[in-house]
Structure 1
Amino acid sequence: MFSIIITLHLLGVIVWVGGMFFAHMALRPAAIEVLEPPQRLPLMKRTLDRFFPWVWVSIGLILASGYGILIGILGANAGIHVHIMHSIALIMVALFCYIYFLPYRQMGQALQAGDLPQAGVQLMAIRRIIGINLILGLVTTIIGAAKPF
């Protein structure tokens, strides 16, 4: 049972953190190089439209499997590294919720209204927070890999 739970946990992490890495380190810089804002902003919005449902699925997998491991398997034997990973995960989820319910929605509204400068401001806010979440996700991955359960 543990191998199934940890596999689901890792799949959620791979999709979320890997997606952030790809978008932040590859897609966005390439889009800036070859597209002007009138083309780049809708591309980034559509990319997020496709990525964010997968983030929600990933969050569900990560939290459900994480709590399954913490409560159902480790219990009182959970090391400090598990509690650190749990705390970081909750911060990451809160940051994603902020992105999703504020700047992402505001970016969509600005694009629908044809307000490219405002859409750009919202995309910049999204980019910054995704950058923070990417760092947190990578740090959490290192903690998980470096400390055995």
Structure 2
Amino acid sequence: MIFSALKLIHVLAVILWVGGMAFAHFFLRPSVQALEPPVRLRLLQAVMKRFFSVVLWASLVVLATGLWMIGRTAKETVQAGLAFNMPLDWTIMATLGIVMILIFGHIRFALFKRLTRAVAASDWPAAGAAMASIRSWVFVNLCIGVVIVCVTLLMG
């Protein structure tokens, strides 16, 4: 029962993270392009501040629940007298998930800081450059997240 509950929490956190990136990239960003840079960049900075706070927690939940589920399965397998060989789809999921967390860390703690400083200083060219970098890395993470979902569902 606890395994199923943690798997549910894990999947819900992934949906929140990957779905939020898809929404921001494909719907929010194009919709605000008509706004003047000061208004657009202030709005995007405020939205991302909230979203990145939630993603920070979601990424930690995904990491903790994923590690717990792998560890639990490994422990039960070894206790049954068998060798634990992590399935390839789990290995891909875990590896790419860690890459996503590292990319998110760069987005949140480097690029978003640049955006926040530039918006606070009303430096719209710098804010635009930071936003462009954030958008690029969010797209990379979105693609990785989709690959993880596909690999997990097709190989699992």
TM-score range, shorter chain: over 0.9
Q: Which amino acid aligns with 2:72?
A: G
Q: Which amino acid aligns with 1:112?
A: A
Cα distance per residue 1:14-68 (max 9 Å; x no partner): 0100000000010000111x31111100010000011011101111110011001
Cα distance per residue 1:43-97 (max 9 Å; x no partner): 1000001101110111111001100111112462420110011110111011010
Residue in 1 that maps onto 2:60? 60
Residue in 1 that maps onto 2:46? 46
Of 140, 143, 146, the residue aligned with 2:148 is: 140
Q: Which amino acid aligns with 1:102?
A: A
How far apart, CA to CA, are the structure 1 residues paired with 2:149 and 2:24?
18
Residue in 2 that maps onto 1:18? 19
Contact 2:107 2:137 in 1 (8 A): yes
Of 54, 76, 84, the residue aligned with 2:92 is: 84
How far apart, CA to CA, are the structure 2 residues paired with 1:142 and 1:92?
15
How far apart, CA to CA, are the structure 2 residues paired with 1:141 and 1:84?
10
Q: Which amino acid aligns with 2:114?
A: Q
How far apart, CA to CA, are the structure 2 residues paired with 1:60 and 1:102?
18
TM-score (norm 1): 0.95
Of 93, 109, 114, the residue aligned with 1:106 is: 114
Shift in alpha-carbon separation, 1:74–1:141, aligned structure 2, 3 A:
farther
Deviating 4+ runs (over 3 angstroms): none
How far apart, CA to CA, are the structure 2 residues paired with 1:3 and 1:117?
48
Q: Which amino acid aligns with 1:5?
A: L
TM-score (norm 2): 0.91
How far apart, CA to CA, are the structure 2 residues paired with 1:8 and 1:77?
24
Of 112, 129, 139, the residue aligned with 1:131 is: 139
Answer with 11-20 or 138-147: which moved more.
Answer: 138-147
SS of 1:102 mapped into structure 2: helix
In the alignment, does 2:73 pair up with 1:70? no
Query: RMSD across aligned C-alpha pairs, in angstroms?
Result: 1.1
SS of 2:60 mapped into structure 1: helix
Aligned pair count reads 147
Give, in angstroms, the shift of residue 147 of structure 1. Answer: 2.5
How far apart, CA to CA, are the structure 2 residues paired with 1:133 and 1:124?
14
